[in-house]
Amino acid sequence: MDEAVETAIRLFHARGYDAVGVAELGAELGIKPPSFYAAFGSKAGLFERALHRYAAGEANIFARAQAEGGGVAAVIERTLMLAARIYPERNGVAGCLVLDGARNSADPEACALAEALRRTGISAIRDFIAGEAPERAGALGDFVAIAMRGMSAAARDGADEATLTAFAAMASGAFRRELAAEG
């Protein structure tokens, strides 16, 4: 089961939810459709497992940045810099599965699954920012979330690490200025 979820992560991350079919998933996993449905319930069921595994691991860059400690500005800067290192294409995969795996999907269930994890991530960022800037945590959290979505999309469009690092540095500077304007 773990290997199946890892395979699904790789496929969904590389090509997006809609571009990966049940037949392809079954072939990659070495199982026939009845076994696939018995194991995962649906393609969306496997996508949900893949999203949760992905988000619980090294891909949760905010949690990784936060674990190193420090104030809000330092953690946000680490988050953006880590995104700049992780998001560029490696082995045919770029961007973030949670942010981009269901982008433009025609499947409302897949979109809802990804959106739920995005909202959880944004809430964690806002809650952390609220420790220093409670009045503006929503706006500052949205700034970080939009920056990360943009970086993920740019990486999928071919932006390299140097380009994303330059953006992350500028975004971090803007974040610091906005945080300082708090009071």
pLDDT for 121-154, tens place per residue? 999 999 999 999 999 999 999 999 999 999 999 9
Over residues 27-44, the mean pLDDT reads 89
pLDDT at 35: 86
Which single residue is written with the structure tokens 């979330």? 145
Place 12 in a pLDDT band, splitting at 50, 70 and 90.
very high
Please say if the pLDDT value at position 179 is more than 70. Answer: yes
For 2-53, CATH number out of 3.40.1110.10, 1.10.10.60, 3.40.190.10, 3.30.110.40 equals 1.10.10.60
Encode pLDDT of 62-107 as tens digits. 999 999 999 999 999 999 999 999 999 887 889 999 999 998 899 9
Start-end of CATH 1.10.10.60 domains in the chain: 2-53
Distance of CA 122 to the CA centre of its chain: 11
What top-level class would CATH report for the domain 60-180? mainly alpha
Burial class (CB in 10 A: 0-12, 13-18, 19+), 182: middle
Q: How far is CA 182 from CA 132, 137, 172, 174, in A?
A: 9, 10, 16, 13
Q: Looking at the whole model, is its pTM more than 0.85?
A: yes
Start-end of CATH 1.10.357 domains in the chain: 60-180
Please say if the pLDDT value at position 183 is more than 70. Answer: no
